[in-house]
Amino acid sequence: MAGWVLAQTPPPADGILDETRALTPEIHRQLAEELKQFGLDLKCEAWITASSFSPAGTTLRRQAQITRREWSGTRPAVLMAYDRASNGSALSFAPDFWERYPAAELVEIMQETRRILLDAKLTLEERLALATRSWIDRLRAMETVRLRQSLWMQRSEKKFALTMPVLLAGGAVITALLGFISRRRSARAGRRFLFPDVQVGMRFGAAYGGGVTAEIKTNAGAQ
């Protein structure tokens, strides 16, 4: 029931729901501004929740997913949840993030966030601020790479679109030349050449002796 009630609460106006009161007003304000700018840059929603108890019957990771879905619907969103009672944390990404970026890098961000929030050498406020800025910076860098790759692909497609007509025209000319050469060869191959007619005179009284040779072979030799 506690988890269900948390999910049904409206999303915080400035992106931060701090039930632990670990954040000072100044750090709260700074993180809220950074979350807002991050959301504008990546065209998504971004939230932080810090609670003082763990809802019974559900994991923090599951609760983070439920809360993010209730707050964002189908829109791109990311939510970092921290529970002070268990010192646990979870980072929940909307499906859009898994489609945009490599899954391995998103898993690394989740692991790094968890590591920061478990650092006992820092105060809770320092951990929350450092963890938030860590995944904000990593995701912003990944988005920059994605946009550059997208722009490169668009330029490559544009070059391809410009060169393709030239290649097609060149291919058509080459094909026409090959066809012309092939037809000429076929025409030459089909020509017939005849021996000229020759008048042969009569020899030794034989009507056709001038142009005929006879050869007879026997066992004794040729005659």
In a domain, 26, yes or no: yes
Q: Domain for residue 191, yes or no?
A: no
Name the residue range of residue 24's domain: 2-147
Domain membership flag for residue 200: no
74 part of a folded domain? yes
For residue 218, list its beta bridge partners.
221
Distance CA 87, CA 79 (A): 17
Q: Does a structural domain hold residue 169?
A: no
Please report, for residues 88, 171, 206, the alpha-carbon distance to residue 184 in angstroms, rounded to integers and kept in the order given.
83, 20, 47
Number of domains present in the structure of the chain: 1
The predicted pLDDT at position 63 comes to 92
Find the CATH number of the domain harbouring 42: 3.10.310.50
Residue 72 has a CB neighbour count (10 Å cut-off) of 20
Q: Say what the pLDDT of residue 177 is.
A: 77
**pLDDT of the residue at 162:** 58
Cα 106 to Cα 19, 142, 143, distances in angstroms: 27, 10, 12
Place of tokens 């979350």: 35
208 located within any domain: no
Q: What's phi and psi for 54, nearest 5 deg?
A: -105, 125
- Cβ(22)–Cβ(49) under 8 Å? no
Q: With contact defined as beta carbons under 8 Å apart, do 50 and 19 qualify?
A: yes
What are the residue ranges in the chain where pLDDT is below 50?
1-5, 221-223
The CA R_g of the chain, rounded to the nearest whole Å, is 43
3-state secondary structure of 91: strand
**What confidence score (pLDDT) does residue 178 get?**
77
- How far separated are the first and last CA of the chain, in Å rounded? 125
User: For residue 97, how many other CB atoms are within 10 A of its CB?
Assistant: 20
Other beta carbons within 10 angstroms of residue 15's beta carbon come to: 21
Q: Is residue 201 part of a domain?
A: no
Does residue 65 fall inside a structural domain? Answer: yes
